Structure 1
Amino acid sequence: MQRKVTAELDLELGSSVDLILQIAVARAVPIVHERLSFTQGDQVRTATEILDPAGSRLHRLQGEAGPLHVRYEAVVADAAPTGPASELETIAYLRPSRYCQSDEVFAQARRQFRGLSGRELLAAVDDFVATSTTYTLGLSQGTDSAVTTLNTGQGVCRDYAHLVIALLRAMDVPARYTACYAPGLRPMDFHAVAEAYLDGAWYVVDATRLANRRSLVRIASGRDAADCAFLSFYGGYVGLDRMQVDAWVLSEDPADTAAAAAASDPAVEDPSLLLQLA
């Protein structure tokens, strides 16, 4: 199953700024075609690619004052699921982090999910976050954490992922945050899910129920959103004037558009199944 993903960012730089973007698909994703460009007026800027230990690809460049246009597109194929985590990874993904304060939700998690483990625990946490949280555009702040989401009962995909991760870590399950492209997502945007480490494999947990997990394309993985931001900048002002993200499944048979549509339809996917993301 091939998928096409695109991202367009129009930025306004107030001065010379150090920019770091994470919009390219992860290293492990098989790329059929890819193009990434940065232009300012008639100048083409060159970025340095940096690979982090999780396989995320960061692109860093020094932008000058004025408009900067970022364009990315890729066609990707299926890949084998990610391999077992290292001992260091499992330790890091058990610890509390900035947006996933597993220590602060420890008491509730232990009380609510007492006696559960393995698949039953993943299903219970997924169901709790899905049913107790309302997807609410425009009210979530960049500084909101798992504790904020637990208290308010609302958020967007990153908030759902943070809460799932915090609750799982509180139950001694390594969990990480993953940014991805999500064909069929509505409203379309960069998407975020949680991944839980169980029996030597990473399994996707998406409590929003807004995307078909089988069609997701990994961009970046880390402790929480702080490790996976699509844009970070230092040393000046950056305004985001426009952003457009899209992703869709390509039909192997041009006449069989129904199969491609079904592959990106969250309604045909069973959230109780254990699925892995490449």
Structure 2
Amino acid sequence: MKLNVSATLTYGFDSDTQVIAAIEAARSPDQTIISESLVISPDAVLVRDQDPMTGERRFRTALSGQVQISYQALVDNGKRIPLVPYARQHDWSELPQDVLPYLLPSRFSPSDEFMRFAQREFCAIEAGGARILAVLDWLHEHLDYVHGVSHAQTTAEQTFIDRAGVCRDFSHLGIALTRALNIPARAVSAYALDLDPPDFHAIFEVYLNGGWWLVDPTQLAPVEGIVRIASGRDAADIAFLTSQFNCQCLNQSITVSRAQDDVGSDDAGQQAA
């Protein structure tokens, strides 16, 4: 699937402030960037970083006053395959070294606190993809998608108690349960088709059958309609803007649509603004 993605972010900075931004589509094997543009107004000198393992890209710079960051891209996801129940779970000795950190507890996904519950709830189900699909079904059945219940410091433990939250909360709990089942899981920030209202989306992916599989625990977006931005242990690693000092978000606009040449003539997608 070909997707147009667009993000326009306007921030106010009281003083000269160092920032790290992750809003550009990753150059990963399952998505190809056909064209893109990044404009910062007023102009800023950027330091560009790209992770050789994940293909995610970030830029660092110093910003002050009112600043607008605009990113647009046309991305081809090809035919991304949803997680299948027969995807095999690996022994730890088989895992690549770079995957090992995603077995461990992290700040927002303390998986060690969920070992007993996860083992009791899911270990009767066949290991691998089937077990993760059962975790996703549990999240869908037991959590309500509700704005305002959680905040930036909410952990998977609190979401488990509240049984409600937004996409990052669903993902943090899903990651915690997956790691408690001895399967690597990592958080992913993304652009996503069909979100209402449009926004950055937090999902996660699991390592099975020799590769990473994207899953959306909220079931709000199809995996073929997701454009990966960044990945990490949890939300602390994938924020779209990290600033040295406090800043104010003055406006944010996100759009995602199917590219016009990727849909039928009677269902032409809107071009991203």
User: What's the CA shift for 1:79?
Assistant: 5.0
The aligned counterpart of 1:239 is 248
Instruction: Measure the CA separation in 2 of the matches of 1:237 and 1:75.
Output: 32
SS at match of 1:72: strand
Deviations 1:17-37 (A, max 9, x none): 001110000022322211111
The aligned counterpart of 1:50 is 49
Task: Say whether residues 1:95 and 2:104 are aligned partners.
Answer: yes
Instruction: Measure the CA separation in 2 of the matches of 1:59 and 1:226.
Output: 17
User: What's the CA shift for 1:77?
Assistant: 1.5
The aligned counterpart of 1:273 is none
Q: 1:17 is aligned with what amino acid? A: T
SS at match of 1:107: helix
SS at match of 1:16: strand
Select between 155-164 and 86-95 the one with higher mean Cα deviation. 86-95
Closer, same or farther in 2 for the Cα pair 1:259/1:131, shift >3 Å? farther
Q: 1:95 is aligned with what amino acid? A: L
Alignment counterpart, residue 142 of structure 1, candidates 138, 142, 152 = 152
Instruction: Measure the CA separation in 2 of the matches of 1:168 and 1:253.
Output: 34
* TM-score when normalising by structure 2: 0.87
The aligned counterpart of 1:264 is none
The answer as to whether partners of 2:263 and 2:269 remain within 8 angstroms in 1 is no
The aligned counterpart of 2:86 is none
Instruction: Measure the CA separation in 1 of the matches of 2:268 and 2:72.
Output: 23
Q: Counterparts in 2 of 1:162-201, with a 5 A limit?
A: 162-201=172-211
The aligned counterpart of 1:229 is 239
Alignment counterpart, residue 130 of structure 2, candidates 120, 124, 140 = 120
Deviations 1:29-53 (A, max 9, x none): 322211111113xxx1122111134
The aligned counterpart of 2:16 is 16
5+ long unaligned stretches in structure 1: 262-278
User: What's the CA shift for 1:78?
Assistant: 2.6
Instruction: Measure the CA separation in 2 of the matches of 1:250 and 1:258.
Output: 11
Instruction: Measure the CA separation in 1 of the matches of 2:10 and 2:169.
Output: 25
The answer as to whether partners of 1:194 and 1:206 remain within 8 angstroms in 2 is yes
The answer as to whether partners of 1:185 and 1:210 remain within 8 angstroms in 2 is yes
Deviations 1:180-215 (A, max 9, x none): 110111121001111111111222221211111111
Instruction: Measure the CA separation in 2 of the matches of 1:128 and 1:106.
Output: 16
Instruction: Measure the CA separation in 1 of the matches of 2:268 and 2:159.
Output: 36
Could you say what the CA RMSD is over the residues aligned between the two structures, in angstroms? 2.2
Instruction: Measure the CA separation in 1 of the matches of 2:22 and 2:108.
Output: 19
Q: How many matched pairs?
A: 255
Percentage identity across aligned positions? 35
* TM-score when normalising by structure 1: 0.86
Q: 1:78 is aligned with what amino acid? A: N
The answer as to whether partners of 1:15 and 1:237 remain within 8 angstroms in 2 is no
The answer as to whether partners of 1:150 and 1:163 remain within 8 angstroms in 2 is yes
SS at match of 2:250: strand
User: What's the CA shift for 1:80?
Assistant: 7.9
Q: 1:258 is aligned with what amino acid? A: D
Q: 2:143 is aligned with what amino acid? A: T
